[in-house]
Structures are given as structure tokens and as C-alpha cells.
Copies of this chain bind each other. A is one copy, B any other.
Amino acid sequence: MNLIQPIDEQPHFFDDFAKGHVYRFGDEPVTEDAIIAFGRSFDMLPFHVDAEAAKRSVFGGLVASGWHTSALMMRMLVRHFLSPEGVLASPGIDTIRWTASVRPDDRLSMKLTIAKAEKSASKPDRGRVLFDIEILNQDQAIVMTATAITIYRTAPSSGR
């Protein structure tokens, strides 16, 4: 089952982006095992690794680490959106908010809006693209928002 259809035309290079473009993609299952495995490796707080202890937490049950949700966002970006030939690097990300709990058996998808696309003043072969990201669960509730900064190569033939 695909919650969200694949993108018809994947943006490959800086030239393919324009402010206001919206893309929807991804369908990542979140299992209890995966939540606990990620928690044990990186975020060992009781509500990420121990279902019984999690019941007594403010969450009332096991929830995914926000870093796990962030990593699943990245998995969706790489699987469905980022072009390996176009993307050069990311200097960082702004204003991550974990707005609702991610729980076992959720399925996550993504809405990505181009907030800005500006060519580099110093390096004409690249530009900076800002993605406003929303991660949604199967009920279309927003579980995470963030603004990601990416550096894209201009198209090889680009004279724009």
C-alpha cells in the first residue's frame, strides 16, 4: 500500500526548484521493534525502550525517539526525493518540532514545500534550496515539522 504516489518528475538539479513547489511522498512503517532498537542504540530514555515504563510516562505508551523520526524523514528523502547527482551537502536544519507522538504501527509520509531557492553568489555551479517539511502519520496528523537546508548542483547544461 502506498499512502502517497511516487513523484512523477524528480527534481535533479538546482534549476528544477522554484519557491512554492509542493511534493508528497514516502510511506515508512514504524514498528515497535524498530522504535526499541533505535532507542537502545541512541536514545535510551524509558519511554523509547521499555513498553511498561512508557505507560507510566507522560506519553502513556512507547513512542519513537524524535531522532528516529528525523532519521526516517531522511530515509524518505533519500529513497524518493534527493537526487544523488544533484545534492551536494546540507549545512543544517532549522526549527525541528516533534508535534505529535510517533507510535508502533504508525506509517509516515512527507509533504515538502520549496521555501526558497537561491543561487550561490560565489560558486555559480550550485545553489541553496530550503525545504519546509511536514511528516504526517496514517491519520494525516503532523508528527514533525522542520526546515532543511540543502546545497544542489546546477544542471550541467545550465545557463539560467
* A88 sits at the interface (CB 8 A): yes
Q: Which residues of the other chain, B, contact A94 by a CB distance below 8 angstroms?
A: 94-96
Pick from B67, B84, B98: contact of A46, CB below 8 A: B84
Stretch at the interface among A6-14, A18-26, A69-77, A133-141: A69-77
Q: Is the CB of B88 within 8 A of A58?
A: yes
Report A102-151 residues with CB < 8 Å from chain B CB. Answer: none
Give the oligomeric copy count.
Answer: 2
Residues of chain A at interface, number, CB under 8 A: 32
Chain B residues lying within 8 Å of A42, measured Cβ to Cβ, are 71-72, 74-75, 78
The reply to whether B58 and A65 contact each other, CB–CB distance below 8 Å, is no
The contact string, 1 if C-beta is below 8 Å from chain B, for chain A 72-104, is 101100110010100111111111111000000
Q: Is the CB of B91 within 8 A of A93?
A: no
- Using CB atoms, name the residue of chain B closest to A145: B92
* A95→B148 CA distance, assembly (Å): 10
Chain B: minimal CB distance from A22 (Å):
23
A45 within 8 A of B: yes
Since A43-B71, A92-B98 are in contact, a sample of 12 more A-B pairs with Cβ atoms closer than 8 Å, ordered by chain A residue number, is A42-B71, A42-B78, A44-B78, A46-B84, A59-B89, A65-B74, A66-B90, A67-B67, A67-B70, A67-B71, A71-B71, A92-B96
